[in-house]
Chain A
Amino acid sequence: DAGITQSPRHKVTETGTPVTLRCHQTENHRYMYWYRQDPGHGLRLIHYSYGVKDTDKGEVSDGYSVSRSKTEDFLLTLESATSSQTSVYFCATRARSSYNEQFFGPGTRLTVL
């Protein structure tokens, strides 16, 4: 258990509204990641962070932004939600190893109507 919590766990919103998802970790891990999981696509990386205020894009970053003002918190924002962003979102942290082993949070199920 890497002490990762995500909030909210479920959210329903309407197209065009802003949405922020929060990931909180208690292990003081440097790296944090946001993924989305969709049927037939597996886990796809949205954005990741390698330190406070240090972030980079993943393979599906369009329409998403992130912020990391503290080691323990990594926020994912959908500036104007679209139906294509309906998904399950997972946060992960990276263990202190050479092999990029990751610990995942419980996920947030987001529905955009």
Chain B
Amino acid sequence: TQLLEQSPQFLSIQEGENLTVYCNSSSVFSSLQWYRQEPGEGPVLLVTVVTGGEVKKLKRLTFQFGDARKDSSLHITAAQPGDTGLYLCAGNFGNEKLTFGTGTRLTIIP
């Protein structure tokens, strides 16, 4: 069973600050996805990273895939209250299923 560990579990910061959350596994991913989930809703796909060392940007969000494809990070620049939510990484290990991390619950304080 592949396990994904996300850290930190909770993060509360002031508006305008920068932050990074992490997703780690002992197994190699064939690809990895980041989702954001808001209260009362289902997760929404933000990005998919595929190649080791890949960096993708989505406005103020920067996603990086580790060179060995065992870890990933999400960096948010100048956080805004609208970034508040649960961030989930999900690993695709080359089969029909995704393995989700336990999530990072982010709160941005105005």
Q: Which of A11-19, A37-45, A68-76 contacts B (4 or more CB under 8 A)?
A: A37-45
Chain B: minimal CB distance from A57 (Å): 10
A interface residues, how many (CB within 8 angstroms): 28
Please name all residues of chain B whose beta carbon is closer than 8 Å to the beta carbon of A42 when the two chains form the complex. Answer: 88, 100-103
Task: Kindly identify, within residues 62 to 113 of chain A, every residue whose CB is under 8 Å from any CB belonging to chain B.
Answer: 90, 92, 97-107
* Contact B92–A100 (Cβ < 8 Å): yes
Q: Which of B41-49, B52-60, B62-70, B72-80 contacts A (4 or more CB under 8 A)?
A: B41-49
Complex alpha-carbon distance, A105 and B44, angstroms: 10
* Contact A50–B50 (Cβ < 8 Å): no
Complex alpha-carbon distance, A58 and B96, angstroms: 11
Please name all residues of chain B whose beta carbon is closer than 8 Å to the beta carbon of A4 when the two chains form the complex. Answer: 42
* Contact B44–A59 (Cβ < 8 Å): no
Shortest Cβ distance from A4 into B: residue: B42
Known: A31-B96, A99-B92. Is A104-B31 also a contact (CB below 8 A)? no
Task: Kindly identify, within residues 1 to 25 of chain B, every residue whose CB is under 8 Å from any CB belonging to chain A.
Answer: 1
Please name all residues of chain A whose beta carbon is closer than 8 Å to the beta carbon of B88 when the two chains form the complex. Answer: 42-43
30 CB < 8 A contacts A-B: A4-B42, A33-B97, A35-B100, A40-B102, A41-B102, A42-B88, A42-B100, A42-B103, A43-B43, A43-B88, A43-B100, A48-B96, A48-B97, A59-B1, A98-B31, A99-B31, A99-B33, A99-B50, A100-B96, A100-B97, A101-B45, A102-B33, A102-B45, A102-B90, A102-B98, A104-B42, A104-B43, A104-B44, A106-B40, A106-B41
Residues of A within 8 A of B (CB): 4, 31, 33, 35, 40-45, 48, 50, 56, 58-59, 90, 92, 97-107
Residues of B within 8 A of A (CB): 1, 30-31, 33, 40-45, 48, 50, 88, 90, 92, 96-98, 100-103
9 tightest CB-CB pairs across the interface, nearest first?
A: A104-B42, A42-B102, A43-B100, A99-B31, A100-B92, A42-B100, A99-B48, A104-B43, A90-B42
